[in-house]
């Protein structure tokens, strides 16, 4: 069976489940991984709860929980359908950038907690040195991620233009 774009729906379904399995293996919860893969594979990158439920054969509650997780991690957003009270769930072309950028804020908070830990434990104690090394690691990662994100912006503009 094919969809309106002429794609084999079974092949699309296999891709969604395969990619979702890869996301699960990387640490994402199973249902959010399936919902994200389904949204990512849709032409307009947007689906309603009903559409997601039908495609994935899951309950509205499962869709709701998955979307809540994905919205909290900035991987999808909720938008109202024009002229309707119904929400659509949207994955944007820059979702990976947004997700990583939001992780940067988390790393900054961890750095603050680690600095406090070094101070509380004493920089000359074994625990304090371990804490300081962990802090140095996150400071290094933060700098590398910032530089990488800037390179990505330039690369993306060159390859895809300004539009998401």
Report how far residue 156's alpha carbon sits from residue 118's, in angstroms, rounded to the nearest whole number: 39
* pTM score: 0.73
**Average predicted confidence (pLDDT) for the chain:** 89
pLDDT value, residue 82: 77
Task: Please give the structure tokens belonging to residue 17.
Answer: 């489940």
pLDDT band at 163 (very low <50, low <70, confident <90, very high): low
Work out the average pLDDT over 23-39: 95
Model pLDDT, residue 81: 75
Q: With a cut of 60, say whether residue 164 has pLDDT above it.
A: no
Q: What is the pLDDT of residue 85?
A: 81
Work out the number of other CB atoms within 10 angstroms of the CB of residue 161.
Answer: 8
- Across the range 138-158, mean pLDDT stands at 90
pLDDT value of position 46: 93
Other Cβ atoms closer than 10 A to 39: 27
Query: pLDDT over 90 for what percent of the chain?
Result: 62
What DSSP string runs through 89-131? EE--TTHHHHHHHHHHHHHHHHHHHHHHHHHHH-TTSHHHHHH
Q: What is the pLDDT of residue 40?
A: 92
Can you tell me the mean pLDDT for 22-33? 95
Q: In the chain, what percentage of residues exceed pLDDT 70?
A: 96
Tens digit of each residue's pLDDT (9 = 90 or more) over 64-112: 999 999 998 888 999 987 787 888 999 987 777 777 777 777 888 999 9
The pLDDT of 104-122, averaged and rounded, is 91
Report DSSP state, residue 148. Answer: H
């Amino acid at each position: 069976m094919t969809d309106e774009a002429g794609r084999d729906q079974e092949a699309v379904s296999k891709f969604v489940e395969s990619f979702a399995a890869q996301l699960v293996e990387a640490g994402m919860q199973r249902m959010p991984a399936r919902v994200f893969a389904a949204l990512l594979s849709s032409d307009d990158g947007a689906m309603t709860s009903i559409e997601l439920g039908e495609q994935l054969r899951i309950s509205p509650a499962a869709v709701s929980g998955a979307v809540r997780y994905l919205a909290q991690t900035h991987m999808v957003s909720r938008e109202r359908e024009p002229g309707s009270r119904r929400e659509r769930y949207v994955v944007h072309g820059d979702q990976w950038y947004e997700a990583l950028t939001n992780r940067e804020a988390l790393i900054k908070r961890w750095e603050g907690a680690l600095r406090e830990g070094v101070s509380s434990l004493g920089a000359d104690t074994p625990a304090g040195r371990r804490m300081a090394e962990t802090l140095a690691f996150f400071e290094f990662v933060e700098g590398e991620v910032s530089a990488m994100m800037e390179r990505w912006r330039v690369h993306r503009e060159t390859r895809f233009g300004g539009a998401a």
